[in-house]
Structure 1
Amino acid sequence: MSSGITLTAATRQNLLSLQGTADLLTQTQNRLSTGKKVNSALDDPTSFFTSQALSGRSGDLGSLLNGISNGVQTIQAANQGITSIQKLVDSAKSTANQALADKSATTSGTPATAAVLTAGVGYQGSTTAASDGTQNFASVDGSGTDIGSTFTIFDGTNTSTITLNANTLGGLTSNLSKVSADTVVTAINNQIANSATPAAVTASKTTDGRIVFTSTDTGSDAGITLTNTAGTVDIGFSDFATVATAQTATGSDAKNGATAATAEGAAVAGLATGGTGPDFTGADDASFTIKLGDGPAKKIELNTAADATLGAIDDAKATDLATAINKQLNADTGFKGKVTAVGDDTTGKVTFTSTATGSDQKITIDASSAATNTDIGFGAGATAKPVVASGAGSASGTNATRTSLAKQFNTLLDQITQQAKDSSYNGINLLYRSGTDAKENSLKVTFNETGSSNLNIEGAKLDSDGLGLTSITGGFQSDDEINKALTAITAATSQLRAQSSTFGSNLSVVQNRQDFSKNLINILDTGAANLTNADLNEEAANSQALSTRQSIGISALSLANTAQQGILQLLR
């Protein structure tokens, strides 16, 4: 609706121009006050919504930066914990080495002795009886009907049965009618080694032809029991008969230190070089049983039926027997690596030695009591009895210095566990968990707003148990205990280094993503600002120009009104 007021064209034009200038000035002043050229979707829909999207993503990434930062600090806390734990492990290693270097207990004490069974001199023929030490192998011909020698060795745990005949000695000598002590020892050791449960005993031969069985363990509880069965050939531990009585040998205790149990057979002339050993090409049989500790007995069969390699030996020596015995002992998981037979062709002796030390090893050797059995130094027949050899272990003379160092070692292990427990950050501990589930102390670091980019960091169990470090219970009194601790420490050090390397790689990844996220946020914010922010310099210039234009417009409007006032004056 018209106001009814008539304006001249000039006045109306000046008024419209002045109104436009005022609108522009208002817009410019609004941009100057807000700093933005786009304040709503009405100003520029595309720029407004694009800017909002960029700002929203920037905000999401900004909120993730806190989690990334916590991840960095958690890994750094774990890495610092590993550094501290490594120092404690190094201290424990130093303590163990110090204990190992302290020999005051063992040097002042009485050394332990290994149980040794030594056979009497002799190698009995098929029909000729003789006392221990007087037998010889000259009349034994394996190509005939002689059965050989059979006995058992018991070390307190395992038993090995030894059979000496053409079967078990055949592959050890070229002449079964002249089997040397060395051949017999080899056969015995082979059979001990190949037993299902090898006795911790080794057979050897002395310079005078006696076969010796030695336990590989030491102490009063480590021994050898040898029981013959009746046989045709006596290898030094007894003569023929139908009943065998076990022979037992026990080592002496020591105040400090430890030795292996050894069962030594009697010297058998036929088992020595130049003698006429068992003829295993025939029916000679020198089998026996061997037992380690309280374990089951193992039969060592020294005959052609059990060991085809003996079938080619008609003059077996101590080394031939040892080879055959060891073959059978090594085939037995209970005896393998625990007992070794050694033959000495010079003396005609077979010796059994336990390969381990300690006070719980015992070797028991039972020779055959059969009248047709061949004696290889451990007896056969009526006087045959089990031969028992016991090693010796530490009985007294505790080293106070080592005891003190063991306590220090255990204290360090406690500190390692405590250090692992204290290496947490913001409730997350990458070095300790109470159970075995890796999820218990894992860390997930998210890198983008959708959660599709992340890093799962698995923690570890690096307390003393997790590192495989166990408390010392023996007071570091034996070198074996110390060496086991040092081996565990070496493994723990490798584990710590590997875990430190893993955490280092994880930290590098997280820090890299942290820097990337910060830079990306800056890029997003800059992009959003470029779409909406006003150029204040430009807007200030615009404001100044519009103010000038407004002043001119007001003046022009005033001039137009003045012309109308002149006409009014004429009308008056």
Structure 2
Amino acid sequence: MPSEITLSAATRQNLLSLQDTASLLATTQSRLSTQKKVNSALDNPVNFFAAQAMTARSSDLLSLLDGISNGIQTIQAANQGITRIQGLVDSAKSTAQQALAIQNSSSGAGATGAVVAAANGKSLLGSGTAAAADGTHDFSANASVFSVTDAFGNSASVTLDRAKLTPNVKDITKVTSDEIVAQANQQLTAQGRIATASLTNDGRLTFTSTSTGTDAKLTVTGTSGTIDIGFGTGAFAAVTASGIDSTDGSAKANATGIAVSTLSGGTFDLTAGDASITVQLGSGLTKTINLNKAADATLGVSTLKASDIAAAINKQLNSDTGISGKVVAVADNGAGTVSLRSTASGGDQKLTVTSAATSTKDIGFGTAGDVSKARSGTGAGSTGANSTGQRSALAQQFNDLLDQISMVAQDARFQGVNLLHRSGADSKENTLHLTFNEKDTSFLDIKGVKFDFIGLGISKITGNFATNDEVKTALSQLTNAASTLRSQASTFGSSLTVVQNRQALTKGIINVLDVGANNLTIADLNEETANQKALELRNSLAISALSLANQAQQGILQLLR
């Protein structure tokens, strides 16, 4: 029969007390080790599951934070790329401007007034009317009127008087040289801009034709006036200047009719019949020149020379705003030929002259239906070794810079995402998608661009900058590209601000969630430490009490023996 241990009530109570104390001490030690007062749902179900949800969301947002950070770096990489591309565009623009500065065309004609006494380097003082000591002129009661005529019969009148100047000057009694030049240019522009006005370094008023070449003749003639601005007063003598041919080998488009015997040293009869021709410059509209007495009474004679026919052609050319000043007829009475040529030079100039459908008389271009005598001419680009070589080298440099633009765009990527380059036209190919919450209901799509030189709208140079038009086209494309780059940089900047704000918000929300979860579960270390000390003391006392109780029982047993 097994023996049984019988415990007294005091001993049993002490043992139960020790058991409770040990359990509480274990709980306290657990809280101290984890620094949490809620470690499981058994501790506090409400707080435990609430804290768990907060911690889970905080973890989700933390994983999104890495993607947001990468997105910021991707935008920064694109911004760096745009900055470098802008520098290359500026360099390409500088290259094109250098090419434009290398003269590959003819020089214009100029007409300059006689040297006059000057109070300072920017005054226009003549001998006809005394000027103020400060170099200004009094136009309150004076005037200067003159005309400017080019070699093609185009003319413009410039009137400097009280009526014209008052709305445009500060003081009509003290009109400055700059104000005179501005008013002259305003009137010249309004009348077709056959010339421009400017000041020389020594203060002379100068007129320069807008045409080029030896046929770019310019004449300034006085009609009336009481004030001298450098060309005299009253009906002053005409001042004439002619342009010079290009020395770089470039040439105008020229179409010369076959020599007609009746024009060579003799006369041509247009009292009956029609010698009309058609003229086309480049791919523009065709202009019909009616050469008959019905269209021009001066042609209704039997003693016409080649120069008379050329004059009639020029009259009709100049009356057409689309071709005026661009084509001119030139006659050679001795050879009996009439030539038409473009006023501009270069390889992009093409001129075609054919007989008109009504033509019955041949002046060197055939009659109606006779295509064998149709004539066309194409201008020549510069053949001068220096200018051609320089422009060609600059064109190659320009194209190399365009290749560099494409390379920079391809290399401006981060973590495999490139906002500046894609192979196709679909923006989805390089759109950056950034997610801001765990359900992807809050996001930002940053659309990428195609910023190689083709995407920027810049074309490579194929004509070696042979013509100014090609250079100007390149400059226009570069200007548009620079504007596009600035606009896109602003767009990326706005997107970067949004992403940085969302990054800061996400970090803030993560902190709020972590603090909230901790508030629900964290233990007060001071309190738990005090509890531990109290429980350890309680445990020690319980052990002592149990020991005393056992000793009392042993004493009773000894007495019974």
Q: How would you bin the TM-score normalised by the shorter chain?
A: 0.5 to 0.7
Aligned partner letter, 1:418: M
Describe the superposition over 1:387-417 as per-residue Cα deviations: whole angstroms up to 9, x where unpaired.
Answer: 9796744352242222222221111111111
Q: After the TM superposition, which residues 3-14 of structure 1 pair with which residues of structure 2 at under 5 Å, given as runs? A: 5-14=5-14
Q: Which residue type is aligned with residue 511 of structure 2?
A: N
Preserved contact between residue 338 and residue 355 of structure 1 (Cα < 8 Å): no
- State the partner residue of 2:523: 534
Q: Which residue of 2 aligns with 1:449?
A: 438
1:224–1:49 CA distance, 2 compared to 1 (3 A): farther
- Once the 2 structures are TM-superposed, how far is the Cα of residue 301 of structure 1 from its aligned partner? 9.1
| Among 397, 405, 408, the residue aligned to 2:384 | 397
Deviations 1:54-87 (A, max 9, x none): 1111111111112111111111111111111111
Q: Tell whether the 8 Å contact from 1:416 to 1:463 is kept in structure 2 after alignment.
A: yes
1:421 aligned partner, one-letter code? Q
Residue of structure 1 in register with 2:158 after alignment: none
Tell me, what secondary structure is at the counterpart of 2:40?
Answer: coil
Going from structure 1 to structure 2, the CA distance change for 1:326 and 1:528 (only over 3 Å counts) comes to farther
Provide, for residues 175-204 of structure 1, a one-character-per-residue CA deviation record: whole Å limited to 9, x for no partner.
Answer: xxxxxxxxxxxxxx9xxxxxxxxxxxxxxx
1:20 matched residue in structure 2: 20
Inter-partner Cα distance in structure 2 for 1:486 and 1:432: 23
Q: Deviations over 1:294-351 (max 9, x none)?
A: 8775668999xxxxxxxxxxxxxxxxx9999999x67xxxxx5788899xxxxxxxx9
Give the CA deviation at 1:569: 2.6
2:127 alignment counterpart: none
What residue number does 2:66 align with?
66
In 2 relative to 1, CA 369–36 (structure 1 residues): closer, same or farther, beyond 3 Å? Answer: closer
How far 1:564 sits from its partner (Å)? Answer: 2.5
Structure 2 counterpart of 1:44: 44
Equivalent in the alignment of 1:515: 504
The answer for the alignment partner of 1:239 in structure 2 is 270
Of 424, 437, 447, the match for 1:458: 447
Q: Which residue of 2 aligns with 1:433?
A: 422
Instruction: Find the counterpart in structure 1 of residue 480 from structure 2.
Output: 491
The yes-or-no answer on 1:545 pairing with 2:527 is no
Matches within 5 A, 1:330-341: none
CA–CA separation in structure 2 for the residues paired with 1:224 and 1:437: 54
After superposition, the Cα gap between the structure-2 partners of 1:559 and 1:452, relative to the gap in structure 1 and judged at 3 Å, is same
* Structure 2 CA distance for aligned equivalents of residues 379 and 411 of structure 1: 49
Q: Number of aligned pairs?
A: 383
> What do residues 178-233 of structure 1 show as CA deviations (whole Å, max 9, x unaligned)?
xxxxxxxxxxx9xxxxxxxxxxxxxxxx99xxxxxxxxxx955455989xxxxxxx
Paired AA for residue 32 in structure 2: L
Contact 1:293 1:364 (8 Å CA) reproduced: no
CA contact (8 A) 1:339 1:353 kept: no
Q: What is the distance in 1 between the residues matched to 2:517 and 2:493?
A: 36
1:54-133 map, 5 Å: 54-103=54-103, 106=105
Residues 100/430 of structure 1: CA separation in 2 closer, same or farther (3 Å cut): same
Q: 1:561 to 1:224 in 2, by over 3 A?
A: farther
Residues 394 and 6 (structure 1 numbering): CA distance in 2 closer, same or farther, change over 3 Å?
closer
Secondary structure at 2:429 match in 1: helix
Q: CA deviation at 1:473?
A: 2.0
TM-score (norm: length of structure 1): 0.57
Contiguous gaps of at least 5 residues in structure 1: 114-188, 190-205, 208-217, 227-235, 247-287, 304-320, 331-335, 343-350
Question: How far apart are the structure 2 equivalents of 1:24 and 1:494?
Answer: 75
Question: Contact between 1:224 and 1:362, CA under 8 Å: does it hold in 2?
Answer: no
**Counterpart residue number, 2:262:** none
Q: What is the SS of the residue equivalent to 2:434?
A: strand
Decide whether aligned partners of structure 1 residues 443 and 356 sit closer, same or farther in structure 2, where only a CA change above 3 A counts: farther
For the 8 Å contact 2:354–2:366, the answer to whether it is kept is no
Measured after TM superposition, the shift of residue 476 of structure 1 is 2.2
Moved more, 19-28 or 450-459: 19-28
Describe how 1:111-510 pairs up with structure 2 within 5 A: 221=253, 223=255, 239-242=270-273, 244=275, 290-292=279-281, 297=286, 358-359=346-347, 360-362=349-351, 364=353, 392-394=379-381, 396-398=383-385, 399=387, 400-510=389-499
Instruction: Give the CA deviation at 1:456.
Output: 0.6
Distance 1:8 1:54, change over 3 A: same
* 1:370 Cα offset (Å): 7.9
TM-score by length of 2: 0.58
Give me the whole-angstrom Cα distance separating, in 2, the residues matched to 1:34 and 1:515: 30
Q: SS state of the match for residue 40, structure 1?
A: coil
Q: Which residue of 2 aligns with 1:285?
A: none
Task: Identify the residue that residue 168 of structure 2 maps to in structure 1.
Answer: none
What SS class does the counterpart of residue 444 from structure 1 fall into?
A: strand
The RMSD of aligned alpha carbons is: 4.6
What is the match of residue 228 of structure 2? none
Judge conservation of contact 2:255–2:341 (CA < 8 Å) in 1.
no
Aligned equivalents of 2:412, 2:540: Cα separation in 1: 74
Distance 1:408 1:293 in 2: 29
C-alpha distance 416-22 of structure 1, shift in aligned 2 (>3 A): same
The alpha-carbon distance between structure 1 residues 467 and 368, as it changes in their structure 2 partners (threshold 3 A), is closer
Distance 1:481 1:362 in 2: 19
**Structure 1 residues 356 and 238: CA distance shift in structure 2, 3 A:** farther
Structure 1: distance between partners of 2:98 and 2:289: 45
- Structure 1 Cα separation of the partners of residues 449 and 42 of structure 2: 57
Where 2:433 maps in the other structure, the secondary structure is strand
Q: Are the equivalent residues in 1 in contact too, given 2:64–2:437 (CA < 8 A)?
A: yes
Q: Which amino acid aligns with 1:456?
A: D
Tell me if structure 1 keeps the 8 A contact 2:252–2:341. Answer: no
Change (3 A) 1:404 1:370: closer
Q: Which residue identity lines up with residue 499 of structure 2 in the other structure? A: V
1: CA distance, partners of 2:323 / 2:558: 139
